[in-house]
Amino acid sequence: MKRTLRFQRKYLCIPYVVFLVLFIVLPIVLIIFYAFTDNKGFFSFDALVDFFTTPTKISILLNSVFIALQTTIICLIISYPLAYFLANKKFNRNGVLITLFIMPMWINFVLRTGATRDLLTWLGINGGKVPYLATLIGMVYNYLPFTVLPLYTTMLKLDRSQIEAASDLGATPFQVFLRNIIPQSLPGVVSAATMVFMPTMSSYVISDTLSEGKITLFGNSIYISFSNSQWNTGSFLALIMLIIIFLSMLVTHRFSREPEARGGTW
């Protein structure tokens, strides 16, 4: 009797299990429940049929994938060299520069987006005329810190001796980059990409504000469904989003897991 009451180390997990069930498992179960019922609570495929027979919804999904992909690519193109330079102590003494790049993250992003809108209007890049450009600029600005940070940490951990060895053994700088630095930093690239791709897919405040309501992303679509009390359609859309995220996790997992990724893959 006494023994069972004694504190055991696994009891420390209880808060986490409660949290997990309450805020992660239960909501997902609810989403699945609503996605496959009608508004009277009976099992039905209405939402599924509705989604696949409405060209608008699929088109909105494509739209969001497009925007998310562009944002990811642009963010990576900008932050990859940036992280490389920042990881070099010569450029980034006592980390001031990296702090500057991450600073926007500390400001509430709705506020930030409002300010971006004013700035863009002032620059003449106006959401009413060029909705895609304005949205992309806003997205990249918002998610850049999320790519800089993981890339920066990977770059810090680059095996310098390996790079030196490569150039010692006669590799041209380009070869060093292609065959050594890229494979070494690939896990960072993958985690940076996932950090950007997923949230952009579901974000809607940025596109709504900066495109002046002209670009509807998947997040908007879900919001519209829920706000018009179409819970079943909305849940199904959310489920689709979950599946997409799950699929891309599967793909990226393969890349970041491999231990051989550290050099010598090619």
Partner 1 sequence: MFAKKVFLGIATLLMTSPLLFSCGPNDPNVTYLRILNSEDYIGRGTYIYQEGDEKKEEDIDVINDFEEWEKSCGRNVKVIYETFDTMENMYNTLKTGKTKYDLVCASDYMVQKLVNLDLLERMDNKVTDIPNYEKNASSFIRDRLKNIKWGDKDKYNLDDYSVCYMWGTLGLLYNPTYELLDARGLKPDDVHNAMTSYDSLWDERFQKVVSVKDSMRDTYAIGLIHTFKDELKDKSIIERQKIFDYGGVNDSNAKEHIDLIKQDLLTLRDNIFGFEVDSGKEDIVTEKIGIDTAWSGDAVKAINNAEEEKNLKLYYSIPTEGSNLWFDCWTMQRGANKELSYEFLDFISEPNNAIKNMKIIGYTSSIQGKEIFDYYNKKYAPISNSSNEKYDVSYFFDDESQKELTIDKKYLGRQIAAQFPKKEVADSLMVMKDYGDNNDLILKMWEEVKHESLPIWAIVLFVIEIVLIASAIFVFAFLKFRNKKQRQQRRLKSAA
Q: At closest approach, how far in Å is the CB of 56 from partner 1? A: 5
> CA triplet 141, 142, 145: central angle to 5 degrees?
90
Q: Which pair of structure tokens corresponds to residue 208?
A: 């709504």
Give the total of residues touching partner 1 (CB under 8 A).
Answer: 40
Please give the structure tokens belonging to residue 73: 């690519």
Place of tokens 């998310």: 68
Three-state secondary-structure class, residue 43: strand
Q: Which of 20, 251, 253, 257 binds partner 1 (CB under 8 A)?
A: 251
Of the candidates 235, 154, 242, the residue with the CA atom closest to the CA atom of residue 191: 154
Identify any residues that bridge with 43 across adjacent strands, giving them in sequence order. Answer: 37
- By CB under 8 A, the residues from 129 to 148 that bind partner 1 are 129, 131-132
User: What is the Cα–Cα distance from 266 to 260, expressed in whole angstroms?
Assistant: 10
Instruction: For residue 194, state whether it binds partner 1 (rule: CB under 8 A).
Output: no
Q: What character string, x for contact with partner 1 (CB under 8 A) and - otherwise, covers 35-74?
A: -------------------x-xx-xx-xx--x--xx--x-
Which of 8, 88, 172, 228 forms a contact with partner 1 (CB under 8 A)?
228
User: Using CB under 8 A as the criterion, which residues of the chain lie in contact with partner 1 when the complex forms?
Assistant: 54, 56-57, 59-60, 62-63, 66, 69-70, 73, 121, 127-129, 131-132, 208-209, 211-216, 220-221, 224, 226-230, 251, 255, 258, 260, 264-266
